[in-house]
Every structure is written in structure tokens, then in C-alpha cells.
Amino acid sequence: MKKNKKRTAPKRKKEQEITFPAKVLLPVRRFLVNEEKKLLQKMKLLKTEDPFNNESRVNDNASPDTDAREQMDHIKNKAIEQAMRRKLIQIRKALARIKIGKYGVCEQCGRMIDTERLMIYPETTLCVRCERKKSK
């Protein structure tokens, strides 16, 4: 009587996670932290420039063209603020990925992101291939 032995696939060596060395990430982290600070300062300044935040606007009997300009400036400021918020989120996400050791690794496919892409766009979390798929 023969015993049925289960055949199992040969065990593969655990794939080592590829990460950037700490020496490489330190300047990237400094750059991102600096960008975060600059962005927060710009956002603060943008709020002070918004005509809708000016208290005297309520008491002002401005002409219709002035009122229209103020509305357009407010809409423009809100659009700029929204873009800045998205950028801030991306920067903070990149800083978190540095902290957990996932910086430079594509979120979708797990491959390393080209260093040229990271140099141009350090807060990116997707490789070029996955970014193209996303934009389609």
C-alpha cells in the first residue's frame, strides 16, 4: 500500500523588498518637508488675499464690476487652494511612504518607480505604466 504524498510546489526564496537606502532618502525627505512648509505658507497667504475674507467687503457698496471682479478672484483663489491641497496630500503621502519604507515603489504594481521620474516628481506614488493606465 502506497501513501499518497501531496506534491507541493518548490518553495521560492522570499523576494526581498527593494527600498532606497536611508542616505538617498534623507535629502528627498528634507526636500518634501521644505515643500510642505512652503505650500502651507502660500495657502495661508492665499487666504488673506481672498476678497471674500475681507470684512470691509460686507459694508462696501461696490459697483457691479467690482463685485464681479471680487467673485472671480474668489473663484480663482479657491481653485488654486484646491490644487495646493491636492499637492499637500501628495507630499504628506510621500513622506509617510518614506517613513514606512515604501517610497519609490509603485502603489499599484509594486515595481520600482524610475529614479528620473522621482527626481522630477518626488511625491509620485505610481510608475509611468500605472499612471498611464489610470489616466485612460
Taking the whole predicted model, whether its pTM rises above 0.85 is answered as no
Q: What tens digit of pLDDT does each residue of 7-33 get?
A: 554 444 444 566 777 788 889 999 999
**Length of the chain in residues, anyone?**
136
| Alpha carbons 30 and 117: distance in angstroms, whole number | 18
- Per residue in 46-86, pLDDT tens? 888 776 666 655 555 556 666 677 778 778 888 999 999 99
58 vs 64: CA distance, rounded Å: 14
φ, ψ for residue 32 (rounded to 5)? -65, -40
Domain borders along the chain are: 20-53+65-103, 104-136
